[in-house]
Chains A and B, each alone.
Chain A
């Protein structure tokens, strides 16, 4: 039974790893810079494994979700700034995900975009309201596994595996102009942000507390973060690599969410395209729900209100009203007509700004034996944690200037 639970947890993590920002940035990065940015995805994946594992461990041992820690450790003022910043960032993410789902539904049905956005939001609300938490995770996570067709498509086009493997080594392509160099730096920061979105840790640690994790679950936590995120990252890398092979040489810039699905149509035709769109639909839908709930978790944990999806909506009224309000606001943003891809770019930039504030209290608490007893960060977790913290601080400092100078990587 434990093994089945573990396998389901890992598969759910794989299916839920990719969201609209990753789809957009992986495809664009591959088309523009070939395999040269794969190393960034690898490094960011190790980063999300480290912080994901830490947040799960803190949930199991200290029984504390991220936002409780944040306020206790950073104090009211800085905690409040983090809350507002992460709320805005998650809201933009949620709007980007709803927009992405609406675009895919439009491609599948031909119905108007705005109508599809409204329908998708209503479906998400009904899912969260009616379904048990485990079902929500599993339905969207497991159906998101249709995305694995992207991996199959990469294998089917016989890629140059050696060149892809070389991409995993840190590098800056030779001979780039200053403009391209700046764009390369922007994509580096954007990919770190897209892989390490803060909502993932908010959602993961809150889920651990809802599932009443204890010391006994530390092994599952470690395996889920390492294997689940690791396999999810391979899926993301296959998106990048296929784009490098199919779009780059043809001069195609995959600026639309649907363009990415064409990677699969090349080897597998219409059936492949349909599977790719279905995989994207469920993976992005899952991300829409996660970003929305992450905001509700954050606000309620910061204020000490009742929260959780294991209880019926009526038993956690402020939590329920918060996630309903987040969906309503995100839908309003989508209905203004802002392109989902634009929203994904804003989401990535705002998220990287929040990351240092999110992970500092987590690092401090995970290393504090007073709370974590024998499970406080050891030498490896400490070294990796602070090394990745330095990486995200540098990325956060560079993100806004790079976004403005390169006009969101368009240079």
Chain B
């Protein structure tokens, strides 16, 4: 269920798995974007997903390495798209509609479309 009141950002939200409306894994809550004023009410504006969202959370040299390997993309997922928060964050729409899982699409191009035996 999506919390309507206070959200414990670190304990409840940050670093949680995100799944879309079709139960497809589509990233981790790497950070959150807040809106409001210092001393006033702070609201979650968006979930930030992708290596670019780590920048403020890791030492600079780690980030340089990650940027070299994985780039520094960051997708903003509006808070209104969050459907529920349990042991995962569930979104209301498909990952592709929100700009998530682009890396999976790129990786698909390297693999032949032949599958395993069922």
Q: Is residue A386 within 8 Å, beta carbon to beta carbon, of the partner chain?
A: no
Interface residues of A in 121-148 (CB under 8 A from B): 129-132, 135
Q: Evaluate whether A132 and B57 lie within 8 angstroms (CB atoms) in the complex, with A80-B62, A314-B111, A321-B110 already known.
A: no
- The size class of the interface chain B forms with chain A is 20 to 34
Of all chain A residues, the one with the shortest Cβ separation from B29 is: A304
User: A68 near B17 (CB under 8 angstroms)?
Assistant: yes
Find chain B residues with CB under 8 A from A305 CB: 25, 27, 103-104
Considering the chains assembled together, what is the distance between the CA atoms of A62 and B87 in angstroms? 7
User: B58 near A76 (CB under 8 angstroms)?
Assistant: yes
Number of interface residues of A (CB under 8 A): 34
User: B103 near A304 (CB under 8 angstroms)?
Assistant: no
The count of A-to-B residue pairs whose CB atoms sit within 8 angstroms is 82
Find chain B residues with CB under 8 A from A68 CB: 16-17
Of all chain B residues, the one with the shortest Cβ separation from A133 is: B116
Interface residues of A in 267-322 (CB under 8 A from B): 300-307, 309, 312-315, 317-318, 320-321
Q: Is residue B112 within 8 Å, beta carbon to beta carbon, of the partner chain?
A: yes
Find chain A residues with CB under 8 A from B104 CB: 305-306, 317-318
Q: Would you give the shortest CB distance from A24 to chain B, in whole angstroms?
A: 33
Considering the chains assembled together, what is the distance between the CA atoms of A309 and B107 in angstroms? 16
Considering the chains assembled together, what is the distance between the CA atoms of A122 and B87 in angstroms? 38
Of all chain A residues, the one with the shortest Cβ separation from B88 is: A63
User: A313 near B111 (CB under 8 angstroms)?
Assistant: yes
Considering the chains assembled together, what is the distance between the CA atoms of A313 and B101 in angstroms? 16
Of all chain A residues, the one with the shortest Cβ separation from B54 is: A76
Find chain A residues with CB under 8 A from B62 CB: 80
Q: Evaluate whether A312 and B115 lie within 8 angstroms (CB atoms) in the complex, with A75-B15, A79-B15, A304-B25 already known.
A: yes
Residue of B24, B27, B58, B116 with most partner-chain A CB within 10 A:
B116
Q: Is residue B82 within 8 Å, beta carbon to beta carbon, of the partner chain?
A: no
Q: Is residue B114 within 8 Å, beta carbon to beta carbon, of the partner chain?
A: yes
Find chain A residues with CB under 8 A from B110 CB: 317, 321
Q: Is residue B41 within 8 Å, beta carbon to beta carbon, of the partner chain?
A: no
Find chain B residues with CB under 8 A from A304 CB: 17-18, 25-28, 49
Of all chain A residues, the one with the shortest Cβ separation from B28 is: A304
Considering the chains assembled together, what is the distance between the CA atoms of A72 and B15 in angstroms? 5
Mark B76-89 against chain A: 1 for CB-CB distance below 8 A, else 0: 00000000000110
Q: Is residue A260 within 8 Å, beta carbon to beta carbon, of the partner chain?
A: no
Considering the chains assembled together, what is the distance between the CA atoms of A309 and B58 in angstroms? 31
Q: Is residue B108 within 8 Å, beta carbon to beta carbon, of the partner chain?
A: yes
Q: Is residue A77 within 8 Å, beta carbon to beta carbon, of the partner chain?
A: yes
Of all chain A residues, the one with the shortest Cβ separation from B13 is: A72
Considering the chains assembled together, what is the distance between the CA atoms of A315 and B114 in angstroms? 10
Of all chain A residues, the one with the shortest Cβ separation from B27 is: A304
Q: Would you give the shortest CB distance from B107 to chain A, in whole angstroms?
A: 4
Of all chain A residues, the one with the shortest Cβ separation from B110 is: A321
What is the interface of chain B, defined by CB distance below 8 A to chain A?
14-18, 24-28, 30, 49, 54, 57-58, 62, 87-88, 101, 103-104, 107-108, 110-118
Since A68-B16, A306-B101 are in contact, a sample of 13 more A-B pairs with Cβ atoms closer than 8 Å, ordered by chain A residue number, is: A64-B17, A71-B28, A131-B117, A132-B118, A300-B25, A301-B17, A306-B25, A312-B115, A312-B116, A314-B108, A317-B111, A318-B107, A371-B87
A-B contacts, 24 of them at CB < 8 A, read A62-B87, A64-B17, A64-B87, A68-B17, A71-B15, A71-B28, A75-B15, A76-B57, A80-B58, A130-B116, A132-B116, A132-B117, A135-B117, A304-B18, A305-B104, A313-B115, A314-B112, A315-B115, A317-B107, A317-B110, A318-B103, A320-B107, A321-B107, A321-B111
